[in-house]
A and B are shown apart, each in its own frame.
Chain A
Amino acid sequence: MSVGESYALTHLDVLESESVHIFREVAGEFERPVILFSGGKDSIVMLHLALKAFAPAPVPFTLLHVDTGHNFPEVLDYRDRIVAQHGLRLHIASVQEFIDRGELRERADGTRNPLQTVPLLHAIRAHRFDAVFGGGRRDEEKARAKERVFSLRDEFGGWDPRRQRPELWQLYNGRHAPGEHVRVFPLSNWTELDVWQYIGREKIEIPAIYYAHEREVFARSGMWLAPGHWGGPRDGERTERRRVRYRTVGDMSCTGAVESDAETIEQVIAEIAASRLTERGATRADDKLSEAAMEDRKREGYF
């Protein structure tokens, strides 16, 4: 790269540089950081940034997947392949195991997203993680718009928006007492479109379900859900084949597909840029539980 008169950093360059700075701050100041990695696009971008931040050395963090037991098989395959490819260490906190041991109970609505908090906090305690990277973005949701880049959590993992530390310049304060930990959000300032543009620019491999494909789906609450052992379709719900893709991947019980013909990253970017629905509005049922669903979950320790 040569620096000429017209040289200017693009917005993606600035965001990338800022996120790398955040990863390196955590590496410099914490003992036992971990990256939450689900195989979804935000955690994929996080891992890509971490790989760049420490090259040619390996990423100095382990990974943690909070597995609801209702994941898309394509995404789990991708997860395991990427972990092996980069020689990383992956911890799995399993919602299913907590249910099997009687420490969690299935919800009436069948969604397991809110159930992730208990295994997550258990894993943080068991492994004594002191910094937990999450792929949350402030543009996703109105409670997340209030989130800090370094977010102190108490010994119960809870978030208290009234007691957040002010965050000025790029001076991040990671001090915490024993038992407390810090959630770190390196993608805070990224939007959904930024994430897709960056995936395109960096040519990052993502699970194939993010691209249009024929799939068995059925309609529930205005969303196209994929059938599976998680509990769909119920009586009266009929599956059909549709051409769909996913804007976000999470628990199969609450992650909807969107109808799409976008087969390449360029087509995905064009589709997102033109969309009149937010990512969560289009595809996530868990945030529709109440007006403050995300805030309430975050207060309990969700990411």
Chain B
Amino acid sequence: MTDTASLLRFATAGSVDDGKSTLVGRLLHDSKSVLSDQLAAVEAASRNRGQQTPDLALLTDGLRAEREQGITIDVAYRYFATPRRRFILADTPGHVQYTRNMVTGASTADLAVVLVDARNGVVEQTRRHAAVAALLRVPHVVLAVNKMDLVGYAERVFADITGEFGAYAASLRIPHVTAIPISALAGDNVVTPSAHMDWYGGPTVLEHLETVPVDHGPATGPARFPVQYVIRPQTAEHPDYRGYAGRLAAGVLRVGEPVTVLPAGRTSTVAGIDALGTTVDEARAPQSVTVTLADDLDISRGDVLVPAGEGPLPTQDITATVCHLHDRPLTPGARVLLKHTTRTVKAIVKEIPSRLTLNDLSPHPAPGELAANDIGRVVLRTSEPLPLDPYAVSRTTGSFLLIDPADGSTLTAGMAGDAFAAPAADGAGAPGTPADHEGWDF
């Protein structure tokens, strides 16, 4: 493998009985990503439990409590590689606290694998996983129809499930769905093509993961450069150097380009870009760089550089979709901290207009509070104006955290703007939802 391989981040979603651990174990095992000492450990642990064959699911049980009690604690990250690509897998457990975990795993994923048991088809859980993937705007979704061996590898079963899921995904405006019939236990279509399903001409799961296009940071659209840190060496060699260090959240930044500093609104020109030791003419998301400007402006951590005239209007009133993560509920009137890119400000929860029922996407008006794992709409007022983009435009400059000022706990994950992708121009709405050019509001 060369160091020019690309990187794909993906997340798995599925309840325990869907065979998610087996799929992950099979993917790691058959792609030869499990090394012999790891396999030996799994074989020994399986023997200790009286199992005849190595339980591949044990590859993903990391903690003492997980192995002893069969419970799963939050997301684990796993790493594997093929000659074509390197992978970071957010392995999200399928237990009862699924929403919080899947939201966490999906927040950085380029692709989500939604697992379905071929015997059960699309169930409430499937709809929930698809809705979370749509909400978090994961660019690619794979529908893995598992346990095909238990339905006689029947094409008809696969076609029915694919049809039903496809219609639901379309209503969520998920852009790309790839459906693959698999048996994780038997290894059909996970890494090697199945000998039992001649009727399927598509890729295996691994082949699809290796070839799906990855966009590491939206290089299209106007640049967003949140300033993290001001570099001022004040040395004999660099007496007047003042560089703005940060990571491009979106777009391309070019030397000579006029830029505006948000939220204050002052304007200057990019004088130079240092890409970690190399002077460059332009940088693109998600590069970490240091930028110098032509004018000496008052810029500090938390400011955002944008191309002049192409920034969002900074606002103190935010309407967002949130997933509540903490066991203490979120209530109207709560005073919180809000972290958006590199800026943390005070905020108050003004209203909680609705809570989303994920399985049928129906809104529950005025729920009074959001409990752990709830997804809902929230209206916030911040102490300072923030240059937020809609989450639909940028997963980096459209996302934020709510933090408890008393103990620092991470309370809530927020996505600014409309919840799901806006309807197509023809105004076709989703079932049970009025057609609406503004997108869905629940």
Report yes or no: A278 in contact with B403, Cβ–Cβ below 8 A: no
Taking the closest CB of chain B, its distance from the CB of A163, in whole angstroms, is 10
List the B side residues contacting A173 at CB < 8 Å.
339, 401, 403, 408, 410
Cβ of B252 within 8 Å of any chain A Cβ, yes or no, is yes
- Stretch of A18-26, A63-71, A90-98, A243-251 with 4 or more beta carbons under 8 angstroms from chain B: A18-26
List the A side residues contacting B413 at CB < 8 Å.
166, 168-169
**13 new A-B pairs (CB below 8 Å) besides A191-B81, A273-B1, A291-B41?**
A1-B280, A8-B216, A25-B342, A56-B231, A58-B233, A145-B77, A165-B410, A167-B104, A169-B413, A171-B339, A173-B401, A175-B337, A291-B45
**Cα separation A176 to B11 with both chains bound (whole Å):** 29
Task: Identify which of A25, A142, A162 contacts B62 (C-beta below 8 A).
Answer: A142
In chain A, positions 135-169 with a C-beta closer than 8 Å to chain B are 138-139, 142-143, 145-146, 152, 161-162, 164-169
Task: Identify which of B76, B86, B278, B282 contacts A11 (C-beta below 8 A).
Answer: B86
Report yes or no: B77 in contact with A9, Cβ–Cβ below 8 A: no
Report yes or no: B67 in contact with A291, Cβ–Cβ below 8 A: yes
Report yes or no: B233 in contact with A57, Cβ–Cβ below 8 A: yes
Q: How large is the interface on B (under 10, 10 to 19, 20 to 34, 35 or more residues)?
A: 35 or more
In chain A, positions 276-301 with a C-beta closer than 8 Å to chain B are 276-278, 281-282, 291-292, 295-296
List the B side residues contacting A12 at CB < 8 Å.
3
Report yes or no: A278 in contact with B35, Cβ–Cβ below 8 A: yes
Task: Identify which of A2, A138, A168 contacts B77 (C-beta below 8 A).
Answer: A138
List the A side residues contacting B408 at CB < 8 Å.
152, 173, 175-177
Report yes or no: B245 in contact with A1, Cβ–Cβ below 8 A: no
Report yes or no: A170 in contact with B396, Cβ–Cβ below 8 A: yes
Q: How large is the interface on A (under 10, 10 to 19, 20 to 34, 35 or more residues)?
A: 35 or more
**Cα separation A188 to B241 with both chains bound (whole Å):** 32
Among A169, A275, A296, find the residue whose CB has the most chain B CB atoms closer than 10 A: A169
Report yes or no: A164 in contact with B74, Cβ–Cβ below 8 A: yes
Report yes or no: B63 in contact with A295, Cβ–Cβ below 8 A: yes
Report yes or no: A24 in contact with B6, Cβ–Cβ below 8 A: no
Given contacts A1-B278, A3-B282, contact A281 B37 (CB under 8 A): yes
List the A side residues contacting B280 at CB < 8 Å.
1
Given contacts A11-B5, A52-B276, contact A25 B63 (CB under 8 A): no
10 closest A-B pairs by CB: A175-B408, A281-B37, A57-B233, A11-B7, A142-B62, A20-B288, A168-B107, A24-B228, A17-B288, A292-B64
Cβ of B78 within 8 Å of any chain A Cβ, yes or no, is yes
In chain A, positions 172-207 with a C-beta closer than 8 Å to chain B are 173, 175-177, 188-189, 191, 193-194, 197-198, 200-201
Report yes or no: B228 in contact with A25, Cβ–Cβ below 8 A: yes
Task: Identify which of B63, B107, B287 contacts A292 (C-beta below 8 A).
Answer: B63
